[in-house]
Amino acid sequence: MAAQIALAELETQGERLARAELLALRAQISPHFIYNALTAVANSIHEGPDEARELLSDFAEFIRYAFRAERPYVTLQDELYYVEKYLRLEEARFGDKLQIRVEVAPEVLPVVVPALSLQPLVENAIRHGIGGAGGQGRLTIVGTDRERNVELRVSDDGRGMAPEHATEALAGRGAGIGLSNVNGRLRATFGPEYGLEIESGPDRGTTVTMTVPKFRSGVRAA
């Protein structure tokens, strides 16, 4: 009984920490993204009013998702749905210069992840990787079944970074939208064996890998 109570207390503390760090991440949502998204809508109003309405709807849905005050966990399917809303806005901004490939195994879609865990990785890839390479490049999102775990990889072919800069980003000392925040929430929720890994090098692009378990007691989607 004492062990069960202690476990329940640990789960509650982990959820409180995840919720607090989610609030901190919401405060970091890039003003540049909001400005660029609204600019993309404005640029489409005259030449493509129907597209402008769709983009504005995508923007509203993403902002509502990012700031909803519910339980801080969602299914991977939900997270991907709103990542695709975000990507539509970025595609409107970059046009044909941005190439996107999403390849996620259907069987991993019900897995529970922290809300806004995949989206910051995608935003970093576009803003720092592809944006740093002149706004032209390829973004890839791959989700793979790894028996008891799920591996999510976000890759770009942008300018990359030195290994020490990748370490600084995970520690919250370098450039990056919420990498240390996401890593901290993953570790607080699932344990120290889970989190983010970064593979990068100057002019070699960047791959961020997120590993989560298929199931964790007490972690449920809203």
Q: Can you list the domains of the chain with their CATH numbers?
A: 2-213 (3.30.565.10)
What the block records as the tokens of 162 is: 């030195």
Q: Would you state the pLDDT for residue 13? A: 53
Nearest Cα residue to 133 out of 182, 99, 180: 99
Distance CA 114, CA 127 (A): 22
pLDDT string in tens for the chain (222-residue length): 454 444 344 455 555 555 655 655 555 566 777 887 888 888 888 888 898 899 999 999 988 888 776 668 999 999 999 999 999 999 988 888 999 999 999 999 999 999 999 999 998 899 888 877 677 899 999 999 999 999 999 999 988 888 888 888 888 776 656 788 899 889 989 999 999 999 998 888 999 999 999 998 888 887
Bridge partners, 218 (sequence order): none
Return the number of other C-beta atoms located less than 10 Å from residue 188's C-beta. 21
Per-residue tokens: 128: 């720092």
Q: Which of 77, 33, 37 has its CA nearest to residue 58?
A: 37
Helix, strand, coil distribution of the chain in percent, nearest 5: 55, 20, 25
Burial of residue 109 (number of CB atoms within 10 Å: 0-12, 13-18, 19+): middle
Burial class (CB in 10 A: 0-12, 13-18, 19+), 142: middle
